[in-house]
Chains A and B, each alone.
Chain A
Amino acid sequence: MVKGKLGKYSRSVSIIGIGATPFCDTSEIPEYRGLTEGEFFGHAALMAMEDAGLEPRDVDYFYHGSANPKFFNNAATPNMQVAEWFGMRGKGSIHHSEACCSGYVGLEEAVMDVASGAHDIVLSGCVEMSCGLPVAGKPAHIRRPITTDEMIPDLEAIMDRAYTRALGGGHIGQDDWMDLYRQQYGLTDDQIDLVLNTMSYHGRRAAALNPLAMLRTPFEELAKEAGYDDPMEYLSSPFNPKTTMYLRVTGNAQSADGAACCIVCPTEMAHKFKQKPVEILGIGSSCLELMRPHNEMEITKEAARQAYEQTGLTPDDIDLLLVNDFVLASQLCAAEEVGYLPRGEGWKWVLEGRTAFDGDRPINPHGGRTSYGHAYGASGMADVYEAVLQLRGQAGLHQVKNNPKTAMLRGFGGGQNCRIPILRVLD
């Protein structure tokens, strides 16, 4: 692969407002049933403006991200189809789509925009209604359930069409990094299973305390219903079967409907608004196609290298890590790759509960994709929302305990895009 270089921004940029809908299946909740992409995005956008103390007229430009607007929303112009929901008729906007990395790319786009001087107040939002499909000829509030038979072929769209799909090179991603970790550090299959189930367990503990999370029933309760006293025994039981070589059902992301937004401005202006600003110190970036060896590891390594070099920070400076863990194993593997956990030892830290939301090295305190839910293109922005909430100390019951000042996000999506932002709360 060919490596990149990340320079300093022309002016510093900070997050001044955040907003998010709950992650949920709108069709299952009467008060949400029939809500549309425009309403979800609009709600998150207006919430972010309210958070900052802004009106729509104050925002100069917006970015719209979603993983697959044609499939889930039958829209080729999705930014135009949400703009009027939050009072930005006539203002400039753009849509971008980088699969499940869209949210982190949305942050990067907004930061580069403001850093360039083009605009002062920029909103970046993402939405995905992943639990259903549009119905041909019907308005947006009428949706139908999605089936696995419709979903699986569409997932192929993330793979290169010239070669990867035809040559069978795109199916390794769920297990590849965990398998390499096993090879490198000599874990047994049972140890891997225990580590993954422990992550599931702690993710659910956090999600149970998070009003925005989708799966909030603690494993203690689910275990009891299935006739087990011990939630860990339940997690390794046939009630939670393997879906890949290493991942059980609880190791895969739960599809969700959801939207999230943030608003950024030059740091020099950021103290005028309602909240403590959160500065974006740098965003490393790397992408590798699915056929490339250990691609998730390689791009995580490269994007982290860029972010550390540009900011001058080291892993010791990072107090909180958010990882796109739609493949649960990534929590551990990525945390070690970016230096947040010691190499080859991280799995023991997981087993000791140190990476839980109330541990001393917290990862994904919102619950992670497998419990918080995964609204594809919107999930990365929901990570930004969570990181800002935690850095401000506003996360409530699932607030991490180590008083974090600096957070790293390991953004990943489409099996091949990586962004690694480092955020720091300002006094």
Chain B
Amino acid sequence: MMKIEKVVAKFYEGLEQHKLLGRKCPECGAIEYPPRYACNTCGYHATEWVELSGKGMLHSVITPATLNADPWNDKIGPYCYGLVELEEGPMFNCTVFGIKRKQAKLLRDKLPIPVHAIFAERDGFTTVFFEVDELPK
């Protein structure tokens, strides 16, 4: 029988242990995050598990408003949306905590700034967001 590998469940199990998992392409070396079977950088058919540091840089700051706010996030603290680049390479949009709306515009000229992964319990599963290391003065 052909084995069908569980990737989504394993990723969320990793988050429960506060581990951030990705997959590395054995051919081009690119990291798939979040993890999937194949490489979407070079189009190779396979990838292998790799643990990621959760450290990265924030490249943009979009403040939430009426149309795109997620009220659940307020439980954790002030947040924005932004583009994060992990130190291992992958770039993705995500939710970033530790930025008050009033600070967001001042941050524009200081980007990119360092961020790290934070883990949060949400309705029966653990998820991952990012948080700024410290706000530039």
Residues of A within 8 A of B (CB): 1-2, 162-163, 166-172, 174-176, 179-180, 183, 189, 242-245, 247, 252, 290-294
Residue of B64, B66, B67, B92 with most partner-chain A CB within 10 A: B67
* Extra pairs beyond A168-B70, A171-B93 (17, CB < 8 Å): A2-B40, A163-B34, A167-B34, A167-B95, A167-B128, A168-B73, A168-B81, A169-B92, A169-B93, A171-B81, A172-B93, A175-B62, A176-B60, A179-B62, A242-B65, A243-B66, A291-B92
Interface residue from B40, B65, B94, B128 paired with A245 (Cβ < 8 Å): B65
Q: How far is the CA of A292 from the CA of B91 in the complex (A)?
A: 7
Q: Which residues of the other chain, B, contact A166 by a CB distance below 8 angstroms? A: 122, 125, 127
Most buried by B among A168, A247, A292: A168
Q: Is the CB of A183 within 8 A of B34?
A: no
Contacts of A168 in B (CB 8 A): 70, 73, 81, 94-95, 127, 129
Question: B34 — which chain A residues lie within 8 A by C-beta?
Answer: 162-163, 167, 291
Q: Does B17 contact A (CB under 8 A)?
A: no
CB-based contact A169/B95 at 8 Å? yes
Contacts of A171 in B (CB 8 A): 62, 64, 68, 70, 81, 93, 95
Residue of A nearest to B11 (CB): A163
B122 surroundings in chain A (CB, below 8 A): 166
Cβ of A179 and Cβ of B60 under 8 Å apart? yes
Residue of B8, B34, B41, B91 with most partner-chain A CB within 10 A = B34
- Chain B residue at minimum C-beta to C-beta distance from A241: B66
User: Is A243's CB under 8 angstroms from B67's CB?
Assistant: yes
Bound-state Cα–Cα, A166 to B73, Å: 12
The answer to whether B8 touches A162, judged by C-beta atoms less than 8 angstroms apart, is yes
Q: A172 vs B61: C-alpha distance in the bound complex, in angstroms?
A: 9
Q: Tell whether, in the assembled complex, residue B127 and residue A174 are in contact, meaning their CB atoms are under 8 Å apart.
A: no
Contacts of A167 in B (CB 8 A): 34, 94-95, 127-129
A381 to chain B, nearest CB (A): 25
Q: List 16 A-B contacts (CB under 8 A).
A: A2-B40, A163-B8, A168-B81, A171-B62, A171-B81, A171-B95, A172-B60, A172-B81, A176-B83, A179-B62, A180-B60, A189-B105, A244-B65, A244-B68, A245-B63, A292-B93
Which residues of chain B are within 8 angstroms of A180 by Cβ–Cβ distance?
60
* Contact status B68-A174, CB under 8 Å: yes
Question: Which residues from chain A contact B94 at a C-beta distance below 8 Å?
Answer: 167-169, 291
A180 to B129, CA, bound (A): 22
* Bound CA–CA A247/B62 (angstroms): 12
Main secondary structure on chain A at its contact with chain B?
Answer: loop
Which A residues are in CB contact (< 8 Å) with B43? Answer: 2
- Which residues, 82 to 110 on B, are CB-close (under 8 Å) to A? 82-83, 91-95, 105, 108
| Chain B residues with a Cβ closer than 8 Å to the other chain, count | 32
| Residues in chain A near residue B11, CB distance under 8 A | 163
Bound complex: CA A292 to CA B108 (Å) = 21
Most chain A C-beta atoms within 10 Å of own C-beta, residue among B67, B81, B93, B95: B93
In the complex, the chain A residue whose C-beta lies closest to that of B59 is A293
- In this complex, what residue of A is CB-closest to B111? A183
Interchain nearest-CB distance for B37 vs A (Å): 12
Instruction: Report the Cα distance A166→B108, complex, angstroms.
Output: 26
Least distance between B77 CB and chain A CB atoms (Å): 13
- Shortest Cβ gap from B94 to chain A (Å): 5
Using A168-B129, A179-B60, A183-B108 as known contacts, say yes or no to A293 and B65 having CB atoms under 8 A apart. no
Give the shortest distance, in Å, between A220 (CB) and chain B (any CB): 27
Contacts of A2 in B (CB 8 A): 40-43
B67 contacts A174, C-beta separation under 8 Å: yes
- Tell me how far the C-beta of B96 lies from the nearest C-beta in chain A, rounded to whole angstroms: 9
Interface residues of B in 28-71 (CB under 8 A from A): 34, 40-43, 60, 62-68, 70
CB pair A172–B82 under 8 Å, yes or no, is yes
CB distance from A161 to the nearest CB of B (A): 9
Look across to chain A and name the residue whose beta carbon is closest to the beta carbon of B44: A2
Which A residues lie within 8 Å of B8 (CB)?
162-163
Q: Which residues from chain B contact A170 at a C-beta distance below 8 Å?
A: 93
CA distance A244 to B91 in the complex (A): 23
Contacts of A179 in B (CB 8 A): 60, 62
Nearest CB of chain A from residue B110's CB, rounded to whole Å: 12
Are B62 and A176 within 8 A (Cβ)? yes
> How many angstroms between the C-alpha atoms of A32 and B93 in the bound complex?
42
CA distance A170 to B108 in the complex (A): 21
Complex alpha-carbon distance, A176 and B94, angstroms: 12
Q: Which residues of A contact B108 (CB under 8 A)?
A: 183
A169 and B63 CA atoms in complex are apart in Å by 13
Nearest A residue (CB) for B60: A179
CA distance A1 to B8 in the complex (A): 21
B65, A243: Cβ atoms under 8 Å?
yes
CB under 8 Å from chain A, chain B span 3-18:
8, 11
B83-A293 in contact (CB<8A): yes
Which of A243, A245, A291 is packed against the most chain B CB atoms within 10 Å?
Answer: A245
Query: Which 5 A-B pairs give the minimum distances between C-beta atoms?
Result: A168-B95, A2-B43, A163-B34, A171-B68, A172-B81
The distance from the CB of B4 to the nearest CB of chain A, in whole angstroms, is: 15
